[in-house]
Structure 1
């Protein structure tokens, strides 16, 4: 998926999560402005980021001087320092950054961040744990994308369904699930809105949307 043209993202905190996020965004042709209080972390990112600074995000004047107030998106990933995370989030919102996304380390931390106006809060460890749990518990599961309100988008690999068509499976009426994409083993990209009479083969990957509890019932 192509990134939004001209998108610039500020990342506060260049630890494991922040640096990995920065690298991926750069790969997607997004301009990243990195900031960290650690000189060694800043130094480690100089070959990756064109704009990376040794500064303290708890200092609002420093953020303003480095242009963070002109960004539309900023991510606060300040490791395990709750105080630094909270102050950085407060400063970014006071500078008028429309979208401030934050890494949280506890539910209490999340509550504080949301009260300060954080637009999105993520628990990386919990997210990874949920992915691994679904991989272990759901045969054939490749990825699990929670969408909220009990709805998920799930990729499954065809095994038992080989030789059947989507019409034969009748997932919409039987489970209230919808196949929105299909990808053959030799194909790189999905074909979306597949035809009902398309015959499935072993190894085909289906992209299915529906309620989580209903997705758990299917055996592909």
Structure 2
């Protein structure tokens, strides 16, 4: 879990504000940005900091200090163009850890091509989860077995060039890598090979007890 770090949320509509509020409830400082003054008024008593600004303006993001944030979540309504422009601006000022809410499958594919490590498509995700729970009762409960079991996605940075065998995460942290997604791709692969060299931007999915998964350091 992120501790003593600030997270940026760009777009304080229903999804953005709900996410920002949940992060705040977990003790994480959130810096919220939106061009809509009404959204800013609604969020200013909840979040650590709020700014009424146009995130499609690179200079505005730089002035707010977004390059120093641990990670930034982009949730800019239904505008695919605005979302992509915001991502490009964030990348231009040096933000690496960017999470983006996609509004369509085409948007999702473009974001992965741009090198965005985490893309969430809320409507599709909820529909997928519900369909599988209805078709195969117990599937969700299996993955949620035990209150202290969790999965975590990690973006490869300092681990680039190493293999899973060299990292030895099972013995070092008591966690297992159950899937991975290659940089620039949208599909996950399962049962990763122990001797495959990791590439900068790859995403690994870890499974283990919550306390162990949180302890994994990527540096």
TM over 0.5: yes
TM-score category of the 2 structures, normalised to the smaller one? 0.5 to 0.7
Question: Which of 56, 61, 64 is residue 62 of structure 2 equivalent to?
Answer: 64
**What's the offset of the Cα at 1:154?**
1.6
RMSD, matched Cα: 2.4
Q: How does 1:1-220 map to 2 (within 5 A)?
A: 3-143=1-141, 154-155=143-144, 182=146, 189-190=147-148
In structure 2, distance between residues paired with 1:58 and 1:39? 16
Q: How many residues align?
A: 153
Q: How big is each residue's C-alpha offset from its partner over 1:101-135, in whole Å with a ceiling of 9 and x where there is no partner?
A: 11111122122222322121110001111121122
In structure 2, distance between residues paired with 1:137 and 1:101? 30
Query: Aligned to 2:132, what secondary structure does the other structure show?
Result: helix
User: CA 1:191–1:33 in 2, change beyond 3 Å: closer, same or farther?
Assistant: closer
Where structure 2 has 5 or more consecutive residues not aligned to the other structure, the ranges are 151-177, 180-219
User: CA 1:132–1:36 in 2, change beyond 3 Å: closer, same or farther?
Assistant: same
Query: Aligned to 1:109, what secondary structure does the other structure show?
Result: helix
- Whichever of the two has the greater Rg, that structure is 1
**What's the offset of the Cα at 1:141?**
4.7
> So what's the TM-score if we normalise by structure 1?
0.64
Where structure 1 has 5 or more consecutive residues not aligned to the other structure, the ranges are 144-152, 156-180, 183-188, 193-209, 212-220
Give the number of the structure with larger relative contact order, counting CA–CA contacts within 8 Å between residues 6 or more apart: 2
